[in-house]
Structure 1
Amino acid sequence: MVAESTEVRLDSEFAPLRTVVVSRCEFRAPAGAAILGHSMPVEAGAAEILEAVWGKDFGAVHPEKQAAWEAEREELAAVLTRHGVEVLRPRLFNDVEKAAAGDTGYANFFVRDPWFTVGEHVVEGVLQFPHRRREILPSRQLLLDRVLPSAAHYVSLPQPEIAPLGAPGAGPFLEGGDVLVLGAEVFVGCSGMATDELGYRWLAKYLKPFGFTVTRVELPPHVLHLDCAISLVRDGLMISCPARLPAGLPAALRDWEQIEVSEDEAAAMATNGLPIDPGTYITDPQFERVGKELEARGITVEYIDFSVSRLFGGAFRCSTQPLLRAG
């Protein structure tokens, strides 16, 4: 059994992973597309599958895919455990929370986004899609149990103002999928679909007194998060999609070696793999080309079929949230 850690810290995207939270698989779609305010980001070919679930529980409509989805997450947890990583899981939504969601629906499927860790700081963010606004709740007790007893700071963004359904409102919005950490430099993606300018400014102001530099990275409006465009594999090596970086890479990353992927590969989540440490990387067999590029550079690649998770516009990074990445 992996020893329980009371330390909470994230040094970088590729520092050795010690403690991580792996997502659950709950999704009830909003009652209609108008509630979203944006088109739901999904892998190409997934629209027909998700079209049948408006206002319904995904597992009730697609029980075989629900079982496969849960099996994907269990396999991910097993691979991480085999590598000596302590794996934690959020709880499931309770009946009261499901009822309170109403027509907006609910999601408890990508733990990367409702909260995140930067250095010794744990931040509860605010999600822009209405059906994801309560996604922090299944992680709350876990955070109280692990973060409060630690030396880490634990803060939350201001709540956004109330807006009509289908309108995102004024924010602030800040989502963990947009936040990449490289020591004292933090990159924050802004596409308008998730993190907004106010969320970026809030994080920059909060972290500045602690010695962090927060750099804004422009994303096209169809790209949900920064981790759908960049993956930092190890110091000096990244996977990137130039088509999703209209202003180019941040200055701190421009000298790094890049394994480039196309827009189609990125849309299928080729940049959403997960480093276990600087020498080990998890990705989907769909991206064997990328895996071979990594192996040619001395990286050990673990392959897990994540085809159901990718239907929802996320993969391995989206499905995990580190509490300890250090050393």
Structure 2
Amino acid sequence: MMLNSFDEWSPLKEVVVGSAMNYTSHHRELSFDLFFHDNIAGDNSARSEWYYPRLTAGGPGEPAPSGTAPIKQRYVAELNEDLAGIVDALTALGVTVHRPMDVDAGTVEVRTPGWSASVVPPLNVRDNTLILGDEIIETPPMIRSRYFETQFLKPVFQRYFAQGARWTVMPRPLMTDASFDLSYARVSTVGGPTEPIGDPQTSCYDVGTEMMFDGAQVLRLGHDLVVNISTAHHAMGCDWLERHLSGRFRIHRVHRLSDSHIDSMVLALRPGTLLVRSPSVRDKLPEPLRSWDLIIPPAPERNHFPSYDNDDLVLASPFIDLNVLSVSPETVLVNEACPELMRTLEKHGFTVVPVRHRHRRLFGGGFHCFTLDTVRQGGAEDYLS
């Protein structure tokens, strides 16, 4: 089918589901720690910082950890089992599923003139690509390890391009330490105290703050896009989108609704209905969305999540399971570990498809993160006028 995806809920026809093959480690460096600032920790049942754990286990003034943080391969094996289950569930619902290329086991490093980092497989495929109607937009990454991640989706993108899709790449950042706006990490106190990111190092390739922006910062509502902005590099990316999309889409900025991604704070399940983390989300939404119905599920419970060891990095908050995937305005994929969320959605008239997803906090993504919808039946409707 031709590339066509304008919203988050229209009947889903084709989708990309990410891959975790040969996922071996996280690389702790400035871009990684900055992106996961609100959540990163060795979380386990013995820790008291359950909501937003601290960045480091040390005291004030101690530097953040750096270097390679290995991932236990039993978690990766179970993640790949769960990804196969997502594929099976979508296929059973009549959706055509595409997969990216797997990372070869011999590909271990990303390198540019200014830095190097461990490679990350194309798992959270929502992040570095934005599908707007008949256009693929590769967005400028915020984590160095993911700099070339969209290359693994090239066979999928080439097929859509051959069928007539537009294909655009936003400007790529140099991503030296000076490229990053550190203000959010230095002043944010969401969920409790967090330590600041360390001082950036200078480089001969410094050009100042650069454009860095993820597709998952955008809530697509037909003709309208709601974009979360928390840093200067987000704002630059949104500036680019406004100029590039002028006359085709309306952009509505929201500020610091979350650190970056919008899709574990608010998702549109159908016209007039939003799934949100808390009632306070309404106050930050554009005025036309404040009249939509809000579904606010019960707070997640501890027993919904596996227990991890002290050396396991937890990359997502307990609210990650709000990151559901709509297959149609009536049907939603939900983590089977969340019976309260499933009952809440059923009370609002949705058909819930439970699917297993165990290690979403370790790998920083739910069903919406792990998928990139490329063909939906909807068009550029005006839902906000």
**TM-score (normalised: structure 2):** 0.73
- Aligned 8 A contact 1:13 1:182 in 2: yes
Give the 5 Å matches for 1:185-200. Answer: 185-192=224-231, 196-200=234-238
Q: Does 1:208 align with 2:246?
A: yes
Aligned to 2:119: 106
Task: Indicate how the Cα distance of structure 1 residues 239 and 46 shifts in structure 2: closer, same or farther if over 3 A, else same.
Answer: farther
Q: Secondary structure at the match of 1:154?
A: strand
> Which structure: greater helix fraction?
1
Q: Secondary structure at the match of 2:130?
A: strand
Aligned to 2:212: 173
Q: Which has the larger radius of gyration?
A: 2
Equivalent position to 1:82, from 92, 95, 102: 92
- Aligned 8 A contact 1:242 1:248 in 2: no
Q: CA deviation at 1:285?
A: 2.8
Q: CA deviation at 1:41?
A: 5.9
**Aligned letter for 2:170?**
L
Q: Does 1:296 align with 2:333?
A: no
Q: Does 1:10 align with 2:46?
A: no
Aligned residue pairs total 315
Q: CA deviation at 1:69?
A: 0.4
Q: CA deviation at 1:219?
A: 2.3
**Aligned letter for 1:112?**
R
Q: Secondary structure at the match of 2:19?
A: coil
Q: CA deviation at 1:147?
A: 2.2
| In 2: Cα distance, 1:190 partner to 1:296 partner | 33
| In 2: Cα distance, 1:64 partner to 1:324 partner | 34
Aligned to 1:253: 289
Residues 195-214 of structure 1: per-residue CA shift (max 9 Å, x gap): 6001111111111132x101
**Aligned letter for 1:303?**
P
Task: Indicate how the Cα distance of structure 1 residues 22 and 325 shifts in structure 2: closer, same or farther if over 3 A, else same.
Answer: same
Between stretches 87-96 and 272-281, larger displacement belongs to: 87-96
**TM-score (normalised: structure 1):** 0.85
Q: CA deviation at 1:253?
A: 1.4
| In 1: Cα distance, 2:299 partner to 2:144 partner | 27
| In 1: Cα distance, 2:17 partner to 2:128 partner | 13
Task: Indicate how the Cα distance of structure 1 residues 29 and 248 shifts in structure 2: closer, same or farther if over 3 A, else same.
Answer: same
Computed over aligned residues only, the root mean square deviation of the Cα atoms, in angstroms, reads 3.0
Q: Secondary structure at the match of 1:228?
A: coil
Q: Secondary structure at the match of 1:306?
A: coil
Q: CA deviation at 1:110?
A: 0.3
Q: Does 1:55 align with 2:68?
A: yes
Give the 5 Å matches for 1:313-324. Answer: 313-324=364-375
| In 2: Cα distance, 1:99 partner to 1:124 partner | 21
- Aligned 8 A contact 1:269 1:314 in 2: yes
| In 2: Cα distance, 1:291 partner to 1:13 partner | 18
- Aligned 8 A contact 1:127 1:174 in 2: yes
Alignment identity in percent? 22
Stretches of structure 1 lacking an aligned partner (at least 5 in a row): none
Give the 5 Å matches for 1:127-146. Answer: 127-144=141-158, 146=159
- Aligned 8 A contact 2:126 2:215 in 1: yes
- Aligned 8 A contact 1:36 1:166 in 2: no
| In 2: Cα distance, 1:192 partner to 1:29 partner | 27
